[in-house]
């Protein structure tokens, strides 16, 4: 029963992939930071999530990661480009407290700026 999973998004799990994305394009938004890099293939987009201890305790970090995952499922499934790696980084105070609709808007706007669609 594969109908419940959204096809097209894969997870980044290896440290070297996170490091490669960290040295590529970066867009800072009020609710999150988006790092993105082009891999050069036509595989589905891959996405990774990270929240440092500056976010707060473990409960707060997990909540921030859950919100970033939900935003990625909603936005990257339709707006992510094949052959790209995306890393979403939580921001202290903002990722957890920001209304979810604004967090989705932040991610959409960051993607447009990364891909050259908006100033």
Complete domains list, the chain, with CATH: 11-114 (3.30.230.10)
pTM of the predicted structure, to 2 decimals: 0.87
Q: Are strands 25-28 and 32-38 parallel, antiparallel or unpaired?
A: antiparallel
What pLDDT, on the 0 to 100 scale, is given for residue 5?
42
DSSP-based helix, strand, coil % in the chain, nearest 5: 45, 20, 35
The pLDDT of residue 73 is above 90: yes
Phi first, then psi: give them for residue 34, nearest 5 degrees: -115, 125
pLDDT of residue 117: 67
The answer to whether 76 and 47 are in contact (CB under 8 A) is: yes
Residues 20-64 pLDDT 10s: 999 999 999 999 999 999 988 888 899 999 999 999 999 999 999
DSSP state of 80: P
CA 116/CA 30 separation, integer angstroms: 19
């Amino acid at each position: 029963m594969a109908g419940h999973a959204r096809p097209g998004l894969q997870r980044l799990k290896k440290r070297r992939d996170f490091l490669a994305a960290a040295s590529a394009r970066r867009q800072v938004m009020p609710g999150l930071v988006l790092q993105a890099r082009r891999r050069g293939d036509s595989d589905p987009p891959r996405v990774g999530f990270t929240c440092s201890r500056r976010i707060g305790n473990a409960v707060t970090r997990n909540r921030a990661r859950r919100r970033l995952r939900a935003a990625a499922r909603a936005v990257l499934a339709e707006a992510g480009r094949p052959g790209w790696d995306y890393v979403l980084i939580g921001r202290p105070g903002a990722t957890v407290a920001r209304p979810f609709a604004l967090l989705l808007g932040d991610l959409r706007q960051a993607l447009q700026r990364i891909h050259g669609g908006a100033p």
